[in-house]
Amino acid sequence: MSQKLLKLIHKENISEYSDIYTFERADGSLFEFVGGQYVILNAGIDKDGKVIKRAYSILSSDSKADSFQICVKRLETGKASSILPTLELGSELEYSGPWGKFAGDPTWPSPGFSLILATDTGITSLVGLLLSKKFSNRLDSTIAVWLKTKEEDFLSENELTKTLSEVSNFPNIFHIPPISDQNRISSALEILKSILGDCTVPENVFLSGDGNILRELRSELIRLGTLESKIGMEAFFNTQRNTSPAISLG
């Protein structure tokens, strides 16, 4: 099978810790995807000879298929996130995708109320869903929530406003403690409780970002009555369950 390649056609440094990259397919063909899906980029080879393949959610709208955008956080010791900012325009990268069966499922979301909740860098898939064709006539019955640390400057509110300028629905932003803080999960659960206090239990849910938080929110939503099959979840980091006990809202 021939290699699938993307060509970098634009990059923009939007904060000290993040960049938006625009890619098109190197052969000039369209890149069709569904909002909320992601691509896997091959960023190169590490010092042990291992291929650096990393997933990135597509930030731009699925109504545009000639190119697409991703936003990547620069992590101090991150392998891919250190290589990507050094790419020259015109560079070609091997990729696979689009991936994300749940977001791509034409039967999701089902009719009813939807909750799209992201923590930290998970905001990229939240944006992709809000901009998607499938949510365009569902925004009135959708609540979007972004849990971030106060200091996080991955995507500023100004940048988010610009990106979502065509959309009537803007995420409700709540501050949560830093990733290492032991009160992070309980704080996220309290926020979920406060949001759901004002509305019905969501029929459809999409969760993205910190896996440690998402697993607890998903359990809570299932306990409250959302069907497990209607909850999509993408852990961007903390992908493995840790051993700390589960917390419940009681």
Check if the beta carbon of residue 159 is closer than 8 Å to that of residue 14.
yes
Closer residue to ligand FAD in complex, CB, 60/124: 124
Beta carbon nearer to ligand FAD, 137 or 240 = 240
Q: How far is the CB of 59 from ligand FAD (least distance, A)?
A: 7
Site for ligand FAD, rule CB under 6 A: 38, 52, 54-57, 70-73, 75, 78-81, 120-121, 124, 179, 234, 236-237
* Separation between Cα atoms, residue 211 and residue 118, nearest integer Å: 11
Encoded tokens for 224? 């409250």
> Considering beta carbons, is residue 54 or 184 the nearer one to ligand FAD?
54
| Cα 62 from chain centre | 14
The first and second tokens of residue 120, run together, are 């930290």
Contact 98, 8 (CB under 8 A): no
Q: Which is nearer to ligand FAD, 60 or 196 (CB)?
A: 60
Q: Both ends of the chain: CA-CA distance in Å? A: 53
- Residue of closest CB approach to ligand FAD: 78
Smallest gap from Cβ 227 to ligand FAD, in A, equals 22
Quote the CA–CA distance of 144 and 250 in Å, as a whole number: 24
